[in-house]
Structure formats: structure tokens, C-alpha cells
């Protein structure tokens, strides 16, 4: 028999047989302290989704900084993300980078989306050249769309380009997650009240279990936006936890497993 698929979801094939009864995930319950309730998550059906940790949102010369945003806030999650990544990778949890990376011709970006980022003739909007650089704002392959310096990347990580605040619209994110057998998503990235929240909401609408990792998220918006987002996640869409609670839960589970 030979395998067709990925390490989590596959068929076994031989000359005249296709064995489809292979999606038998061993459950791995991990306890995580969270709000509004403590959680038991299945680590074998979980993934970390990191949103928009890019130069245009986090670097000093990036787009957000040039329009007056405080990128010291949006860079703040980098150390915490880096501490969690090796723990999850070691246990085979998929790490998915969801980055804004538009087509050069902006053919799938409507005026309604473009207006949010450039409502006057002057200024720098999606696809425009960022002053002081040769980078076009959030264009796939540009400096601005690349990960901000300091984040650690692994060969097995998965990359998804997005074109809206939500990482699910017009992207393969949902089909990738389903093909991996993922049902629980841990969310990280920026901006918490915008792209992270929009992606988390859509994940909830699609039936995923959603856990916002508070210390892995940030925003340049006023503090009341953070408070409203945390409230709404707990009230309507899922749970809020800290990365150390997830790490502790994994360690405790590993100790019990021996």
C-alpha cells in the first residue's frame, strides 16, 4: 500500500484497493486555562493561525508606521510567538501564516475595499509605492508583505495569501484546514480588532472552535478596541487564553503520557 495525501489525512492505495478508512485521528486532550471557561482541546486537531505579522503593519518603515500607527505595539507579540512556535511544531501542530499579499493588478480588490485604505486622491493606498522604499503596499512578493524581522519560520509551515481583513474570503484557508482535519484554531497576529477579529469571526461561522491567544495579538488601535474585541470573542465567538497556559497544558499532558 502507498499513501496519497498529507501526514494527517490520507488514503492507502494498492493496485486494486483504495483504503479510505484511514482518517482515524488519535485524540490528544490538553487542558488550557482560558476565559470565559477553561478548555480541553484536542491538540491533534488544532492549528495556530498567525495573521499579518508583516513589514507593512509592524516595521518602522512600513505602511502603518507611515500613516501614523504605533508599530511598537504591533511588533510586541514577536517574542511570545517565537516562544510558542517550537513547542507546537515539536508536537506536529500546523503553523499557518496568513499574510495580506495582493495581486499586482488588484483585479480582485473592489473599490469598497480600496476606499478603506485610500479615501482621497492623495495618500498611499493598496498597491501604491510606499514613500522612501520601492515596495508596493501589501503586494505579494514585496518587502511590505514579507514577515517582519525576528519571527522564526520552518519549512513545514503553511502560507496563505489573503486579500481582505478576513483570511477566509477568496482564499484556500478553509480547504487547507479541513484537509488537515483541523477543528480548533489558535489565533495570533495583528491587528487584533480588525484582521484577527474578522478571521476569527468567519472561522466561528464556518464551525471551527476559536481560541484567541491574547499575548500573541496586538493592535495600533486605541485600548478600548482591544477591550471590545476581547469582550466580543468571549461573548459571541470563542475563548481567550494566554500562550503560557497552552504551553503548560501541553507539558502536563506529555508528563501524563510518560
The whole-angstrom separation of Cα 200 and Cα 197 is 5
In sequence order, what are the residues at sequence separation of 6 or more whose Cβ sits closer than 8 angstroms to the Cβ of residue 52? 98, 99, 100, 189, 190, 191, 195, 196
What is the 3 state secondary structure string of 23-77?
CCCCCCEEEECEECCCEEEEHHHEEEEEECCEHHHHCCCCHHHHCCCCHHHHHCC
The whole-angstrom separation of Cα 63 and Cα 207 is 34
Give me the residue spans of the domains in the chain.
2-257
Written as nine digits, the cell of 114 is: 480600496
Give residue 90's Cα distance to chain centre. Answer: 19
CA angle 106–178–36, rounded 5-degree value: 95
Would the pTM count as exceeding 0.75? Answer: yes
Query: How far, CA to CA in Å, does 220 sit from each of 61, 76, 107?
Result: 15, 11, 29
| Distance between start and end Cα atoms, the chain | 32
CATH class of this structure's domain 2-257: alpha beta
pLDDT at 7: 82
Going by DSSP bridges, is the β-strand pair 29-32/209-217 parallel, antiparallel, or unpaired? unpaired
Nearest to 188 by CA among 69, 79, 32, 30: 79
Among all chains, which residue has been given the C-alpha cell 482535519? 181
Tens of pLDDT along the chain (258 residues) come to 899 998 888 899 998 999 998 876 789 999 999 999 999 999 999 999 999 999 999 999 999 999 999 999 999 999 999 999 999 999 999 999 999 999 999 999 999 999 998 999 888 999 999 998 999 999 999 999 999 999 999 999 999 999 999 999 999 999 999 999 999 999 999 999 999 999 999 999 999 999 999 999 999 999 999 999 999 999 999 999 999 999 999 999 999 987
Written as nine digits, the cell of 118 is: 485610500
Amino acid at each position: 500500500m502507498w499513501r496519497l495525501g498529507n501526514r494527517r489525512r490520507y488514503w492507502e492505495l494498492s493496485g486494486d484497493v483504495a483504503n479510505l478508512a484511514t482518517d482515524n485521528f488519535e485524540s490528544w486532550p490538553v487542558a488550557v486555562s482560558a476565559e470565559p471557561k477553561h478548555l480541553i482541546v484536542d491538540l491533534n486537531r488544532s492549528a495556530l493561525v498567525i495573521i499579518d505579522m508583516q513589514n507593512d503593519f509592524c516595521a518602522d518603515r512600513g505602511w502603518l508606521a507611515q500613516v501614523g500607527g504605533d508599530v511598537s505595539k504591533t511588533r510586541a507579540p514577536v517574542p511570545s510567538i517565537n516562544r510558542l512556535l517550537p513547542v507546537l511544531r515539536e508536537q506536529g501542530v500546523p503553523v499557518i501564516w496568513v499574510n495580506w499579499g495582493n495581486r499586482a493588478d488588484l483585479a480582485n480588490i473592489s473599490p469598497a475595499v480600496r476606499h478603506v485604505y485610500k479615501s482621497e486622491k492623495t495618500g498611499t493606498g493598496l498597491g501604491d509605492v510606499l514613500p522612501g522604499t520601492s515596495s508596493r503596499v501589501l503586494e505579494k512578493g514585496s518587502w511590505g508583505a514579507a514577515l517582519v524581522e525576528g519571527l522564526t519560520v520552518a519549512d513545514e509551515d503553511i502560507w496563505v495569501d489573503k486579500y481582505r481583513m478576513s483570511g477566509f474570503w477568496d482564499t484556500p484557508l478553509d480547504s487547507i484546514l479541513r484537509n488537515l482535519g483541523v477543528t480548533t484554531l489558535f489565533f495570533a497576529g495583528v491587528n487584533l480588532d480588525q484582521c484577527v477579529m474578522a478571521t476569527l469571526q468567519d472561522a466561528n461561522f464556518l464551525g471551527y472552535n476559536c481560541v484567541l491567544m491574547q499575548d500573541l495579538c496586538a493592535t495600533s488601535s486605541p485600548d478600548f478596541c482591544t477591550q471590545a474585541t476581547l469582550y466580543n470573542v468571549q461573548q459571541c465567538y470563542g475563548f481567550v487564553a494566554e500562550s503560557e497556559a497552552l504551553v503548560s497544558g501541553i507539558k502536563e499532558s506529555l508528563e501524563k503520557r510518560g
